[in-house]
């Protein structure tokens, strides 16, 4: 299933996408229950399919089963939906916590002149930074003049996970989305003497609109293998990132297992996989980069400027697009 959060009349609704149409999942399930003769259809539907994505994920297998039953009903009855292009998409979920992994692709390590760490980097990003698909992202010079883009696979946790073994890790995954870990590079990477740099993940990562998510969540039953998905980023039409999940250093099971060692992963947590090479940081020699020529069409470029359009694509998931601009 492809699950979305969308807005109608100022109200956020949980929806499912079928053949380019969006259907209100709760309302559609109520229609199914009514057809089955349930006199409490609306009340039952509101319980089994809550109106927010995190609450729906917390509903576990019962909520998921209700949604699958609804999809089968919609496919059979062919009820009219809303054209996808006619709805205002919101971030598919407001994650309860965002866990980010860095240093997780070899080409990004190479361009930033870093050796492979012994473990994946571990930092948090504020959920308050989340931005919707197509929402304008803030270009605020008081934050930075070095806004950078990062395409990452977003991994959504389905149930509480603690001390999870690698071989069991996928049992705790609900689905996948696209995550843009926008970074304020001169806040994140601080020159500290000759050839030394201090990393600050607080002010470098967590600020308003710095975490676009979307455009939807693809559930694990539809996308059970993400080990060979292409990732691409274009900035105002220029190809800046081009890689594949097969080249990741720590894969999805390894990430889930690693982070669950330190904290209980709860339903609605989003784990960001880390980004491949190609961000502007990889061309910034002032911040320690060692850029090299690429043969895959990627163009080495600078940091984003007002009105640039970020288009992030992950194969079999979709496209997440946002423009960055001054908002005041």
CB 123 within 8 A of CB 152: no
Residue 224 parent element (H or E)? none
- Kindly report, residue by residue over 176-205, the tens digit of the pLDDT: 999 999 998 888 776 665 566 666 777 778
C-alpha span between 105 and 116 (Å, rounded): 9
The predicted structure's pLDDT at residue 193: 59
pLDDT of residue 23 exceeding 60, the answer is yes
Say which residues have a Cβ less than 8 Å from residue 11's Cβ, sequence separation at least 6. Answer: none
The predicted structure's pLDDT at residue 198: 63
Q: Is the peptide bond before 121 cis (omega within 30 degrees of 0)?
A: no
Percentage of the chain modeled with pLDDT above 90: 84
The predicted structure's pLDDT at residue 194: 56
C-alpha span between 254 and 166 (Å, rounded): 6
Nearest alpha carbon to residue 32 among 9, 54, 49: 49
The per-residue pLDDT of the chain, averaged, comes to 94
Q: How far is CA 38 from CA 43, 46, 66, 164, 276, in A?
A: 10, 13, 14, 40, 51
C-alpha span between 33 and 22 (Å, rounded): 19
CATH 3.30.70.260 fits 93-325, yes or no: no
C-alpha span between 66 and 64 (Å, rounded): 5
- Kindly report, residue by residue over 222-269, the tens digit of the pLDDT: 999 999 999 999 999 999 999 999 999 999 999 999 999 999 999 999
pLDDT of residue 327 exceeding 90, the answer is no
Question: Which residue has 């099971």 as its token pair?
Answer: 253
* pTM for the structure as a whole: 0.96
Alpha helices in the chain (DSSP H): 25-35, 41-48, 53-58, 60-77, 106-111, 185-188, 252-262
What residues does each domain of the chain span?
2-89, 93-325
pLDDT of residue 273 exceeding 90, the answer is yes
C-alpha span between 55 and 48 (Å, rounded): 10
- pLDDT category at 115 given cuts 50, 70, 90 is confident
């Amino acid at each position: 299933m492809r699950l979305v959060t969308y807005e109608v009349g100022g109200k956020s609704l949980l929806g499912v996408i079928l053949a380019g149409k969006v259907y209100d999942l709760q309302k559609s399930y109520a229609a199914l229950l009514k057809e089955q003769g349930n006199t409490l259809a609306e009340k039952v539907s509101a319980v089994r399919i809550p109106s927010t994505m995190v609450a729906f994920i917390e509903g576990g297998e019962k909520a998921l089963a209700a949604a699958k039953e609804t999809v089968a009903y919609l496919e059979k009855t062919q009820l009219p939906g809303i054209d996808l292009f006619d709805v205002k998409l919101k971030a598919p979920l407001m994650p309860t916590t965002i866990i980010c992994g860095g240093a997780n692709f070899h080409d990004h390590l190479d361009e930033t002149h870093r050796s492979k760490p012994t473990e994946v980097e571990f930092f948090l990003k504020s959920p308050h930074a989340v931005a919707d698909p197509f929402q304008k992202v803030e270009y605020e010079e008081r934050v930075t003049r070095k806004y950078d883009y990062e395409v990452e696979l977003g991994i959504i946790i389905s149930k509480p996970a603690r001390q999870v073994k690698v071989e069991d890790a996928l049992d705790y995954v609900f689905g996948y989305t696209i995550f843009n870990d926008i970074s304020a590079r001169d806040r994140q990477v601080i020159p500290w003497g000759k050839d030394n740099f201090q990393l600050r993940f607080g002010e470098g990562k967590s600020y308003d609109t710095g975490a676009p998510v979307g455009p939807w969540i693809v559930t694990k039953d539809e996308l059970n293998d993400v080990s060979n998905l292409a990732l691409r980023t274009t900035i105002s039409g220029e190809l800046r990132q081009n890689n594949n999940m097969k080249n990741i250093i720590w894969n999805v099971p390894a990430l889930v297992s690693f982070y669950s060692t330190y904290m209980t992963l709860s339903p609605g947590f989003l784990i960001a996989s880390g980004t491949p090479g190609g961000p502007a940081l990889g061309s910034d020699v002032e911040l320690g980069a060692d850029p090299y020529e690429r043969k895959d069409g990627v163009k080495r470029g600078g940091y984003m400027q007002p009105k640039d359009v970020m288009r992030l694509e992950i194969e079999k998931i979709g496209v997440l697009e946002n423009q960055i601009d001054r908002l005041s």
